[in-house]
Structure 1
Amino acid sequence: MMRLARLLFALVLAVCVLPSARMLVAQQSTDPAMLVADDVYLSGENRLTAYGNVEALYDGRRLQASEITYDQKTETLIIKGPITLHEQNNTLILADSGELDRDMRNGILRGARIVMQNQVQLAAHAMARRDGRYNKMYKAAVTSCRVCKTGRPPLWQIRARRVVHDQQEKQLYFDDAQFQIMDVPVFYMPRLRLPDPTLERATGFLIPSLHNSTQLGFGVRVPYFIRIGDHKDLTLTPFISANSLTLEARYRQAFRNGRIEFEGAISDDNFGPRSTRGYIFGHGAFELPQDFNLTFNLEAVRDDTYLLDYGYSDKDRLQSELAIERVERDEYIRGALTHFYSLRSGESNSTLPSIVGNAEYERRFHPDALGGEFRFSALAHSHYRSSSSTTDVAVPDGWADGRDVTRLTLNGDWMRNWTLPGGLRARVQTGLALDSFHIAQSGTLSRSEATETTPSAALRLRWPLLKTERGGATQVLEPTLQLAWVGGSNPNIPNDESTLIEFDEGNLFAMSRFTAPDRRERGLTGAYGISWTRIDPKGWQASFAVGQVVHEDRQLEVSGLETFTDSSGLNGKFSDVLFAGQFKNDNGLTITARSLFDDAFDTTKAEARASWQTDRTNLGATYIWLRDDPRENRFGNVSEWAFDASHRLSRHWTGSAEWRYDVAQDRSVRAGVGLKYTNECVDLALSASRRFTSSTILAPSTNISFTVGLRGFTTTTNDKSYVRTCRN
C-alpha cells in the first residue's frame, strides 16, 4: 500500500508540484524536485498534502518534516514540525513550523534554530528566509556551547535584537548585541559582525590576550586579521603595556609553487639601550624546475636582548640563509649562502665567521666491471669575517682573528660488500681526496695557501647473529671490527670548521670523525664495537652498543698540540669508551642514554633522555654533562637537568610545567607552569614563567599571560572528548 501511495504521489507531483516544465528545461543546472512520504492526499484541485516521514529535495536542499502541504495556486509549502532543513554548506536549520516557497528560498520559520559546522548555534523566536541567501532571525541568541534542557544558560552567548546570516558572504550581522557569560551581560555593542564557521578567512579582530611582565608591566594584545586575498593575509597586533608600545605583524602568502611567511615587531620602550627596537623573522620555500627546491630563512634584530625581553625567541645566534637543493636517488646538489649574527655577550661578530658560502655535489655510480658503488663528491666552502686584523691574538685556537678561509674538496670513494662463509659480512672501501685552502689575513702562524692529497682504505667486518626465542622475541648480536688507513698530513691552517666533535655510535666506524675536511684523522686507525638489540612481541624493545677507537699514533697539529680536544673523547692513542643504549615499550615509555668514559672510567660526556607519553600524560626529563674544555670555549663543567610535563587533569582541565636547573651553578635557569580549560565552546589558558639567568645586559624576568579563545569562531572543535554531556 505504501509503495502504491509513493508511486501515485510521484505522478501527482509531476502534474501539480512541478507544472512549469519550461522552467526546468531552462534551468539545466538544477536537479528535479523530489518529494517522498508515507502517505499523500489531494484537497481540491490545487492543494496536495504529504504526511508521515516527509522528505523534499530540491537544488541541493533537503527538507524533513512531519507534514507538508503544497498550495499550487500560491506556490507555497506549509510545513508542520519538527522541521529539519539541510543546506549545502554543512548548515542545519531546525524549526517548529513554517511556510516556504516551492524552492525553499523564501518564507518564514517559527521557533527556528541554525546549526553551522556542528558547532555554532543560532536560536530565535522566528526566522525569515530571503532569496535563499539571507536568514533574518529576531530575538536571537548565538553560542557554540552545548545547550542542555536543564534550563541552565550556556557558558557564553551573544544575544541580539536581530541577527542576519548572509549565506553567500558567510557573515553574521548583529543589531543591539550583548555578550553574556552565564546569562550575565558583560558588554554591549550596537553593531557587530562575525564570520560564520564555514568561512575560513575573514578580515576582523581576533581574540585578545592579557600579559604581565616584570619588565614590560601589564599589557594587552589585540590582533587584527586582514584578508588581502584568497592566498595572502596580514595580521597586525598592537601590544600596549605599561612600559612599552609595540606593533607586531605577520604576513603570509601562498603561491602556486611555494609559500612565504614573515613576522616581526617594532617597540618603543624605556628599558633597552635604544628607545626603538625591533626584529624580523621570515622563511619561505619554492619548487623550481627540474626538481630543485629554493628555501630562504631571515633572522634579524636591532638589539641583542630584544627577543628575550619580549619573549619572542630564546635564540642567542641568528642565522639567515638562501639555499637551493635537489635530492635524487643517485645525486645530491646543494648551494647555500648563510649569514650568522651572535647575540651572546663576550662574542664579537667582527671576529666570528659572519658570511658563509657552501656548494655541494655528490653522485653515485654502480660500475659493472668492479661491482659495488663509486661515489664522487665536490665541496666548495668559504667564510668571511668583517675584521681586517692580521694580528695573532690570544684566542683558543691561537690564530689571527680576522682570517677568511676558502676551501675546495674533491673526493672519490669506491666500496663493496661481500658475504663470507658463516654469515660474516665484509666491506672494503678505498678513496682519494684533494683539499685546497686559501687563507686571507692569515697572520704569522699559518700558511696562506695549502693543498693536500689524502688516500684512504678501510676493511670492515660485521658478524650479525640472530636468535629467535620460543615466545617470538628476536635478538640480534653484532660484533664489528674495522681497520682503516688515511694518508697525508693536516696542513698548517687554522681549524675553523672542526671545532666541536661529537663522538657517538653514528660515527664510531667512520673514516674520520671530524665534521669538515679542514681536519682528517691520519695514519692507521682501528675501531671495534658490539651492538645488541632485542625486540619482544609484547611491545617493547631494547638496544645497547659499546665501542672504542684506537690510533696507531696520536693525532697532532703542526704545532704539536693534540688535534682532538680533551672533551671530545678521541684524543690520545685510545679513545674514550662509548656506551649507548635505548629502551622503549608500547606504553609510551622511551629511555635513551649515551656516555663516554676515559681510561680511569671517569665520565667525559653524558646525556640521557626519558619520556613517557600516553593519551593523558606527557612527561620528559633530560640530563646533560660536559667536562670543562677551554678549547671548546667551555671554562667550567656543564651539568644540567631539564623537565617538561603536561597532564590532562580531567575532561576539560590540562596542566603543564617546565623546569631547567643548572647543577654546576646550583641555580634554576627557567621555570614555568600553565593551566588550560577546554570545552566545545571556549579555550582558557593561564601561564606563568620565570627566567633566572642574568648578565651585564640581561636581567631576570617573570611573565604571566591569560588568553581566551571562543571555539566555533576562532578554532574548530575536532577533538570531541572535550565536548560536555547533558545530564537528565
Structure 2
Amino acid sequence: MNARRGGLLQAAIIALLLSYAAQSQAQIQPQSQPAAGSAAPTAGSGEPVLMTADQLNYDQNLGLIRAEGKVELSQGGRTLLADMVSYSERDDKVTASGNVSLLEENGTVIFANYMELTGGMRNGFIRDISFLLNDMSRGAAAQAERKDGNRTIMKKAVYSTCSLCESDPTRAPLWQIKGREVEHNESEQEIKYRDAVFELFGIPILYSPYFSHPDPTVNRRSGFLPPRYTSSSFFQSAVQVPYFYAIDDTSDLTVTPQYSTRQGPFIGADYRQRFAKGEIQLDGSVADEDASNDTRGHIRANAAFRATDDITYGANILRSTDDTYLSRYSIQDRPSGNTLVSRVYGEAINNRHFASVNAFAFQNTLERVRNSTVPIAVPVMDYSAVFEPGDYGGRWGLDANMVSLSRSEGPDMRRLTSTVSWSQPYYAPSGEVFTATAMMRADGYWSDNVSQSMVPGSTDGANMTGRVLPAVALDWRYPMVRDAGRMRQLVEPIVMGVISPYGGNRSDIPNEDSVSFEFDETNLFSLSRFPGYDRWDGGPKLNYGVRMAAYGENNGHVEFLAGQSLRAKTDDTFTEASGLRDQFSDYVGRLTVSPGRYIQLVDRVRLAQNSNLDVRRHEMGATLGTSTNNFTVSYADLVNTDYLRQNERQEAISATVRMQLSKYWATEIRHTRDLRDDGSLLNFLGLRYTDECFDIILFAERTFTVNRDIQPDTVIGVRFRIASFN
C-alpha cells in the first residue's frame, strides 16, 4: 500500500477538516434564524472562512454552535461539505456528520459519515472513511482515531491505485492492500501496517505481519526497490533485490546484490551526490564466477562541476577487469564500441573563445589488441577562437592543439598544432553565393619508437619534425527556388575548388588520430577528409555536387544530395577501400524522403566510380507509424577503410516492430541478422501491460554472439512495478 499518501489523509481529515469547522463556528455571531452565509477571518491562518448552511443556531447557555442542512465551509482552496457541523465550547468538541466530504487544494477528496475532535483538536475519531487522492488512488477504513496530535490509527483499512470496475463497482480492484491496523506517525514520518495482505484480482498473494514505509511528506527514504528476475543459460535463474539507502538530502546509495543458481555472487553499487555547483555518480560491481573461479568487476565515475559561469571541470572514468565483463553481465550504459574511455577535463567558454584541457586513458576490448600498446593521452589541450566579422563580413579564426601520447609498449608522440584561417562570403545580385577560405596550419612533432606497424614505410627510432600546410578554397553555390502550388522546390549546384601542396604525410610523422575515417556526403566539401591532425588531404582537388529538395505542407519533404571529388592525380595517402585514392573519387549521396509525420526514409550510399557503379557502402533506415505503433528497419553494408583492418566487410539488417495491442497491452519485437554469414545476431520479444495500477514487462531475448567467454544465450526476464510503490 502506498501509505505515504493514504496514511496522511487521517491527519488531513481530523486536523484540517474539523479545525476549519471549529474556527469558523467560534467566530460567527450567534443567530437564531436561518442563515444564508457568513464570512470571518480564522484565528489560525488569517484567511477568511466562508460558511453557508440552511440553518445556523447558537445556544449561549450550552455554549453550542450548530449548523444544519447543506453545510459548506471554504477556506484557502479547501472546501468542507456536511449535513451537520457543531462545536461545543464547554467540551471543546467539534463534530461533523452526514455525507461529510473534504476537497483539498491538491485535488484529494475525503469522505466520511461521522467525525469528532476533542482535546484542543489533538484527539479525534472518524467513522466509515474513504478517500480519493489526486493521482486517482483510493482507500477506505472502518474507523480512524487520532491520538497525541500526531498519530492516526485506522482499523480495517484498504488501499489501491486501481480504478473500480465501471460495470460492477463492488468487484475488487486489480490489486489492493488490506491491513487490520494502519498507523500514521507524523513525527516519525512513518506509516506502519499490521497483518497486511496484498491481493491481486481479489486473491490474497502475500501476507506480512508487519510492513512500513515513509509518508508523503518524505521525498525519499531508505528501503528495498522492486526485485528483478531473469533466466539465462549463463546464470540459469537469477534475482536482483536492490536496496536504496538515503544517506542525506544530497546523497544516496543503491546496493544491488544478485543471486543466481549457476554463477557465484554478484553485487553492484551506485552512489550519487549533488553539490551546490555540481554532482558526482560512482558505480561499480564485483562478480565471483563459479566456473572460472575468477573475480571480475568494473568501476565507473562521472563528475561535473561548475567553477564559474564560464568554467566547468569534471571526470568520466570507466574501467573493467577484462574485455568481456560488461557485456557478459549486461552492465547498463556500457559503451557500444570497442574502447573504454576514461577522461579528466576542464573547459572554459567565453563569448567566441573556447579552451579545454583533457587527460585520456583507454582500455581496448578487442581480442587481438594488447592494452600495453594502447596510449595514454596526457595532456590534450585545445583552443579555438572566432573573431568578430570585418566590414565586408570576413572572419578570422584561430585553432590550436597540443597532445602528448605515451605507451608502455610502442611509440610515444608529442604534437603541437596551430591553424589560422580566414573566410569571406559574397552574395551576388544573381543569387549566387561565393565563399573564399584561406588557412595556414603548422604542425610540430616529437616522436620516439615509431614502428612500421603504425605507419607503413616509416623508420624506427626517435626524431623531431614539422610541417607547414597552406590551403585556399573557393566555394560556389547557386540555390534556385521555385514555388509550385503547395510545394517549394530547390535545386542547388555546388562546386568547391581547393588548392594545397602535395605531401605532408611523411613516414616520420606517426598516424595516431586518422587511422580510421569514412568518405561520405558529410565531408565531401571539407578541406581535409581526415578526422584528425596526423594525416593531411593535400593536393589540388575539385569537389562538386548537387542538392535538390521539395518541401510540401504538413512537414512533408524530399531531400537529395550527391557528389564526387576530382583530384589532380592519384594519391596513395588513402587506402584502396576509401574511395579517394583514384583521380576520380567514388560517388557519395544521401536521400531523405518524408511524405508526412508518420513516414521517413534515409538512404546513404557510396558507389564506385567504375561503369558498374559497385556499391562500396550502403546505409538505409526507415520508420513507419506513430510513437506507439511503428515499424523501423535499418540496413548497413560497410567496409572498414582504416589502415589496420582494410577490406573487412560487414552487412546486417535490423528490424523492430512496436504495437499497442489494446489500451493496456503493448508488444515489441526486434531481430538483427548478419547477411554475410546468413545468421541471426539477436531475437527479442517483449510484452508489456500498463495501467494506473501496475506495470509488468515480460521479455525473451536470444543472442548469437560468440566472443571468447560470451556464447549464444537465451534470457527470459520479468519486471514488475506497482504504482505508488516505485
TM-score range, shorter chain: 0.7 to 0.9
CA distance in 2, matches of 1:552, 1:404: 35
1:599 equivalent to 2:615? Answer no
Partner of 1:96: 113
Paired with 2:209 and 2:24, the residues of 1 have a C-alpha distance of 50
Residues 442 and 104 of structure 1, relative CA distance in 2, 3 Å threshold: same
Point out where structure 1 has 5 or more consecutive residues left out of the alignment: 1-8, 18-23, 388-401, 556-561, 715-728
Matches of 1:198 and 1:661, distance apart in 2:
51
User: 1:40 maps to what in 2?
Assistant: 55
1:415-440 Cα shifts (integer Å, max 9, x gaps): 11111231111111111110111111
Residue 145 (1) aligns with residue 167 (2):
no
Give 3-state SS (helix, strand or coil) of 2:430's partner.
helix
- Distance in structure 2 (CA, Å) of the matches to 1:29 and 1:480: 76
Within the candidate set 470, 485, 497, 2:485 is matched to 470
Rounded Cα–Cα distance in structure 1 between residues aligned with 2:595 and 2:43: 61
Structure 2 unpaired stretches of 5+: 1-22, 32-39, 453-457
CA distance in 1, matches of 2:546, 2:187: 68
Structure 1 position 136 matched with structure 2 position 150: no
The structural deviation recorded for 1:355 is: 3.8
Partner of 1:249: 269
| Deviation (angstroms), 1:629 | 5.3
The one-letter code of the counterpart of 1:161 is: R
C-alpha distance in structure 2 between counterparts of 1:11 and 1:29, whole Å: 13
Aligned residue pair count: 677
The percentage of aligned residue pairs carrying the same residue is 29
Q: In structure 2, how many angstroms separate the alpha carbons of the residues matched to 1:355 and 1:114?
A: 62
Residues 656, 231 of structure 1: alpha-carbon distance in 2 compared, 3 angstrom cutoff: same
Q: Given the alignment, which residue of 71, 74, 88 partners 2:88?
A: 71
Distance, in Å, in 2 between the alignment partners of 1:90 and 1:355 is 58
How far did residue 39 of structure 1 move? 2.6
For residues 548 and 503 of structure 1, the distance between their equivalents in structure 2, rounded to whole angstroms, comes to 10
2:364 paired residue among 311, 326, 342: 342
Is the 2:673–2:682 contact (alpha carbons within 8 Å) kept by the matching residues of 1?
yes
Cα contact 1:77–1:102 (8 A) shared by 2? no
Could you tell me whether the CA contact under 8 Å between 1:286 and 1:295 is conserved in 2?
Answer: yes
Q: Which one of the candidate residues 398, 406, 415 is aligned to 1:384? A: 406
Compute the displacement of 1:655 (Å): 0.7
Per-residue CA deviations over 1:549-586 (Å, capped at 9, x if unaligned) read 1111222xxxxxx2112222212111101111112244
Deviation of 1:367 after TM superposition, in Å, equals 5.5
Choose from 651, 657, 673 the match for 1:645: 657
> How far apart, CA to CA, are the structure 2 residues paired with 1:630 and 1:432?
27
- Please give the secondary structure, in 1, of the residue aligned with 2:327: helix
| 1:218 Cα deviation after fit | 0.5
**Residues 585, 131 of structure 1: alpha-carbon distance in 2 compared, 3 angstrom cutoff:** farther
Q: How does 1:8-407 map to 2 (within 5 A)?
A: 13-15=27-29, 30-32=45-47, 34-45=49-60, 46-57=63-74, 62-86=79-103, 91-101=108-118, 106-130=123-147, 133-148=150-165, 149-167=168-186, 169-196=188-215, 199-242=218-261, 243-272=263-292, 274-312=293-331, 313=334, 315=336, 316-355=338-377, 357-366=379-388, 368=390, 371-387=393-409, 402-407=410-415
Query: 2: CA distance between counterparts of 1:166 and 1:146?
Result: 28
The match for 2:594 is 584
**Helix, strand or coil for the counterpart of 1:308?**
helix
Deviation at 1:246, TM superposition (A): 1.1
Name the counterpart of 1:723: none
Residue among 702, 718, 726 paired with 1:706: 718
Residue 101 of structure 1: CA displacement?
Answer: 5.0
Kindly state the Cα deviation for residue 357 of structure 1 after the two structures are TM-superposed.
Answer: 3.8
Which residue is 1:487 aligned to?
501
Q: Over aligned residue pairs, what C-alpha RMSD do you find?
A: 2.6
SS in 2 for 1:712: coil
Distance in 2, matches of 1:634 and 1:271, equals: 37
Quick one: distance in 1 between partners of 2:279 and 2:174?
39
1:395 alignment partner in structure 2:
none
For 1:713 and 1:82, the matched residues in 2 are separated by 31
Aligned-residue offset at 1:120: 3.6
Cα offsets for 1:226-279 (capped at 9, x unmatched):
11111111111111011221112111111111111122211122134x522111
1:196, 1:713 within 8 Å by CA — same for their partners in 2?
Answer: no
Query: Which has the higher mean CA deviation after the structures are superposed, 363-372 or 414-423?
Result: 363-372
Deviation of 1:592 (Å): 0.8
Instruction: Identify if the C-alpha distance between structure 1 residues 105 and 60 changes in structure 2 by more than 3 Å, giving closer, same or farther.
Output: farther
Q: Which moved more, 1:63-72 or 1:461-470?
A: 63-72
Contact 1:35 1:54 in 2 (8 A): no
Q: Pick from 668, 680, 683: which aligns with 2:692?
A: 680
Partner amino acid for 1:263? D
Indicate if the aligned counterparts of 1:258 and 1:284 stay in contact, CA closer than 8 A.
Answer: yes
Deviations 1:3-27 (A, max 9, x none): xxxxxx989834469xxxxxx99x9
Q: Distance in 2 between matches of 1:687 and 1:266?
A: 26
Q: Which residue pairs with 1:397 in the alignment?
A: none
Question: In structure 2, the residue corresponding to 1:523 is in which secondary structure?
Answer: coil
The letter of the residue matching 1:643 is A
User: What does residue 444 of structure 2 align with?
Assistant: 436
- d(CA) in 1 for partners of 2:630, 2:303: 32
Shift of 1:462: 0.7
CA distance in 2, matches of 1:145, 1:112: 18
Q: Secondary structure of the residue that 1:307 maps to in structure 2?
A: helix
SS at match of 2:326: helix
Secondary structure at the aligned position of 1:112 is classed as strand
Cα distance in 1 for partners of 2:698, 2:147 equals 44
The Cα of 1:374 is off from its aligned counterpart by: 0.3
Deviation of 1:441 (Å): 1.2
The 1-side partners of 2:654 and 2:686 are apart by: 17
610-619 or 260-269: bigger deviation: 610-619
Residues 345-387 of structure 1, C-alpha deviation per residue, up to 9 Å, x if partnerless? Answer: 1121112334464211111113646741000111112222221
Structure-2 change in CA distance of 1:628 and 1:224 (3 Å)? closer
Q: Deviations over 1:609-656 (max 9, x none)?
A: 112341421322111112365734155321011222322111111111
Q: TM-score scaled to structure 2, two decimals? A: 0.88
Partner of residue 391, structure 1: none
CA distance in 2 between counterparts of 1:278 and 1:258 reads 27
Residues in 1 aligned to 2:681 and 2:350: alpha-carbon distance in whole angstroms: 44
Is the contact made by 2:518 and 2:641 (CA closer than 8 Å) also made in structure 1?
no
**Residues 1:543 and 1:486: Cα distance change in structure 2 (over 3 Å):** same
